Amino acid sequence: MKKPLIIGLICLVASAALLIWGFQSPASPSSAPQRQVVLLIENDTGSFLMQLRKGMQEAASALDVRITVEKALPDPLAQVRALAEEGADAALLLLADPKPLLSALEEAKFPVVLIGQTVRGQVCVTGDDRACGEALVSRALALAEPSRVLWLTQDTDPRGLERTDGAIAQLKQKGIAILPWPQSPQTLASYGAVAASTQAITQELANLKSTGSLGPGVSVLGMDTGDSRVADLEDGHVQVMAMDSPYAMGYTAIGLIPSLVAEKLAPSLHLCRITLVDPSTMYLAENVKLVFPLLQ
């Protein structure tokens, strides 16, 4: 009789232990600390920044990254101190000339990602400008004979130079004219298709088209003209426009943060697609978010 009693007591104790310990939730592993990232800018307006921030926030919500946006201080050393005081883990730079601040951040060994810039030895996220230049030339050749195609360059724009590098093989192979900006309206009007390597040139060409200085026979191809893009396309001032994807840039940049902060990311270039749009494709679903960013 004792043996069944002992077995019963053992089963009772085991059941109690199972109730107490067996059904408790396993201890959750300690979560990684939230990363603090600062986006440093010069201008806090514009659809590019708005779309960039949307992409950043989308990626940040999945990676537990907190983003703040600040105007860059004029003194690079003061900016580095401010980032340290804020407890920032990394900085994203959206600046026309990031090199002075970049030098100070490098000296402080502070993790940084450049947006819209290509600097050797850095982590950079930008549009695929070389492919863009090649695509613009291909579209220009569909609009005019090679002898009537003109490519305009501007030495002061690094991304424009990248586009020219991407286009140069086709330009030389087809014998296409390459001229520096500016050129007279009379010179421009002698071509059937004029491709601009920079936003500034594209805007000037659009202005010339709007005043009739180029004439209806000249097709203008170039970069996104910003707030006037819709009017420029609809009114025929620009026939083909290359559009960056700031949303993709922002998403990509934030996605690099965990590896960057963990010092597992080597200097590298991360390219985002640039899309060519024209009046016949600007209202397609895949292009609406690029042409009409305020609708998103």
Domains, the chain, with CATH or none = 35-128+246-273 (3.40.50.2300), 129-243 (3.40.50.2300)
pLDDT at 278 over 80: yes
Mean pLDDT across 85-103: 96
Tokens of 175: 């014998």
Q: What is the per-residue pLDDT for 33?
A: 77
Among candidate residues 149, 142, 197, the one with its CA nearest the CA of residue 172: 149
| Separation CA 191–CA 153 (nearest Å) | 16
Mean pLDDT across 169-193: 97
pLDDT at 192 over 70: yes
Mean pLDDT across 224-239: 96
Question: What value does the mean pLDDT of the chain take?
Answer: 91
Mean pLDDT across 73-99: 97
The model's confidence at residue 116, banded by pLDDT at 50, 70 and 90, is very high
Contact 243, 51 (CB under 8 A): no
The model's confidence at residue 29, banded by pLDDT at 50, 70 and 90, is very low
Which of 19-28, 135-144, 217-226 is the least confident region?
19-28
Strand partners, 177: 150
pLDDT at 130 over 70: yes
| Separation CA 115–CA 92 (nearest Å) | 7
The model's confidence at residue 45, banded by pLDDT at 50, 70 and 90, is confident
How is 221-275 classified by DSSP, letter by letter? Answer: EEE--GGGHHHHHHTTS-SEEEE--HHHHHHHHHHTHHHHHTT---S-EEEE--E
Q: What is the per-residue pLDDT for 294?
A: 79
